[in-house]
Structure 1
Amino acid sequence: MISPLAYVAPEAKIGKNVTIQPFAYIDKNVEIGDDCVIMPFVSVLAGTRMGKGNKVYQHAVLGAEPQDFHYTGEDSELVIGNNNHIRENVVISRATHSGCQTVIGNENFLMDRVHICHDVRIGDHCVAGIGSTIAGDCVLNDCVILSGNVSLYQHSRVGSWSLIQGGSRISKDVPPYVIISGNPAGYHGVNATVMQHHHNISEKILRHIANAYRLIYQGNFSLFDALQKIEEQVPMSDEIRTIIDFCRDSKQGIVR
């Protein structure tokens, strides 16, 4: 299952039933789990740890050195979970400093020309559309969708089940369950269709989420006051608590 035309360093750890096609490059200090497929001209560089069932398409580069002026050649890691699709020309950098990691979770779909910079953490079941760029130290929680050519600035966080529409530039945190679009980026409602289809969320909870965001985005309150009013006026659920906690934890503010 390993082409003689591929280069696989003797020190690399390759699992069972792994396919490595011609002209792929597998560096030393690399681990590739069972049932992965590595297509031609892929580079898997030192420090990459990959789980099971991943499919990596042509010309992707995994574990690239960080494009960070603080990087001094330290040994760091890129950790990739299971069953991810990493399409053509994707570049994922490992972390900047020794002992740190860039982390990609499970069952994510990274489309053509996605660039994921150092120390990013991506959860499970996320989609990054064609040409999207995720700067260093960003966090994407589970089930996030980035449409094509989205740019996340450094340290941005995106809450679960949020959708950022094509071409948007994000410099603050995107709270959970919302649709964000435009430049400057703004709130365009609750991501109800996707959540109903994939998350089986009830109409009642969706109404509560919409009411919470009505207080944040249309209530003419400060964020601090809006969160207090949510606690007082909106029935509490896991989803409402997630919104409150995410917004209160934001260090650089949310997109408003």
Structure 2
Amino acid sequence: MEIHPTAVVHPKAELADDVVIGPYCVVGEHVSIGRGTKLVSHVSVDGWTEIGERCHLYPFASVGGPPQHLHYKGEPTKVVIGNDNILREYVTVNRATVQGGGVTRLGHHNFLMAYVHVAHDCHLGNHLIMANCANLAGHITIGDHAIIGGLTGIHQFVRVGAYAMVGGCCGLTQDVAPFTRAAGGYRARMYGINYIGLKRQGFTNDQLAVLKRAYDLLFRSGHRLAESVKLARKEFANHKHVMEMTDFVDGTKRGLCASVGRDEETDE
């Protein structure tokens, strides 16, 4: 274990043997940090916070601070961060509220760039990329392999599905379906399947073709959404990715981002 003499580490904090705590870091009483994790400098880790193995926290990151929520009364809610995460400069991850389930969670292999904010009760999956100044309000869920563009703000309780791509400078107020891409100013809209991102993740041309057909049926057929889901489940019953998409759509509470028409799309 390597702790810089200027760092302040509570004696009850649980640190693995090879953790590195750099200059001017502060680690609180109820914190646990796993093997190989490094706090570069000026990092604050407070509250009931668990950080996994081989994470890398850069200067002025703040993890485990109290939620920005008027009803929070100091309850011992948590932040749980998995393995192999990178949190760049000034990233903030707030602990949860009792009302929201008690845990703000970040999975494994995620890259949060500078000034990203993860608010209380968010649940983030694995292999995410969040670009500079992407901001999440409370109770947001983001699926595996999603990408959130810089300067994007996401409204509380919104869900972003797995493998989705959200462009920069967006205002996202409704859900984004898995495998799709969304962009566009104050109220983002969906622009079809995330072809480039899915190809990079190893999706085949046949899989992409099926997702394209399912997308058109769900969002461009003119049917009511509930009817589109029923038709898609019947036609694509043997395609697990389409079933994931229909389950996501069926579970929406805030509604889905509107899809642009074919004359505006930029699908390949």
Place the TM-score, normalised by the shorter chain, in its bin. over 0.9
Distance 1:235 1:29, change over 3 A: closer
Length, aligned pairs only: 255
**Alpha-carbon contact 2:170-2:183 (below 8 Å) kept:** yes
Which amino acid counterpart does residue 213 of structure 2 have in structure 1? N
Residue aligning to 1:67: 68
Please, which of 93, 105, 108 is the counterpart of residue 106 of structure 1?
Answer: 108
Q: Which shifted more, 213-222 or 203-212?
A: 213-222
Q: 1:2 is matched with which residue?
A: 3
Q: Distance in 1 between matches of 2:171 and 2:71?
A: 24
User: Residue in 2 aligned with 1:193?
Assistant: 196
TM-score normalized with structure 1 length:
0.97
What is the CA RMSD across the aligned residues, in angstroms? 1.2
- Is contact 1:52-1:82 (8 Å) kept? yes
1:89 maps to a residue whose letter is Y
Structure 2 counterpart of 1:37: 38
Moved more, 184-193 or 79-88: 184-193
Partner of 2:132: 130
Residue 133 of structure 1 contacts residue 150 of structure 1 at CA under 8 Å; is this kept in 2? yes
Return structure 1 stretches of 4+ with deviation > 4 angstroms: none
Specify the SS of the correspondent of 2:3: coil
Tell me, what secondary structure is at the counterpart of 1:89?
coil
Q: Does 1:176 align with 2:194?
A: no
Deviations 1:28-70 (A, max 9, x none): 1100001000011100002110110000000000001100112
Q: Which residue of 1 aligns with 2:57?
A: 56
Letter in 2 for 1:175: A
Match of 1:158 in 2: 160
Which structure 2 segments of 5+ residues have no match? 259-268
Q: Would you say the 8 A contact 1:112–1:130 is kept in 2?
A: yes
Structure 1: distance between partners of 2:159 and 2:236? 24
Contact 2:47 2:66 in 1 (8 A): no
Q: Which runs of 5+ in 1 are unaligned?
A: none
Using the aligned pairs only, state the percent identity.
30
CA distance in 1, matches of 2:221, 2:9: 59
Mapped partners of 1:235, 1:13: distance in 2: 48
Name the counterpart of 2:146. 144
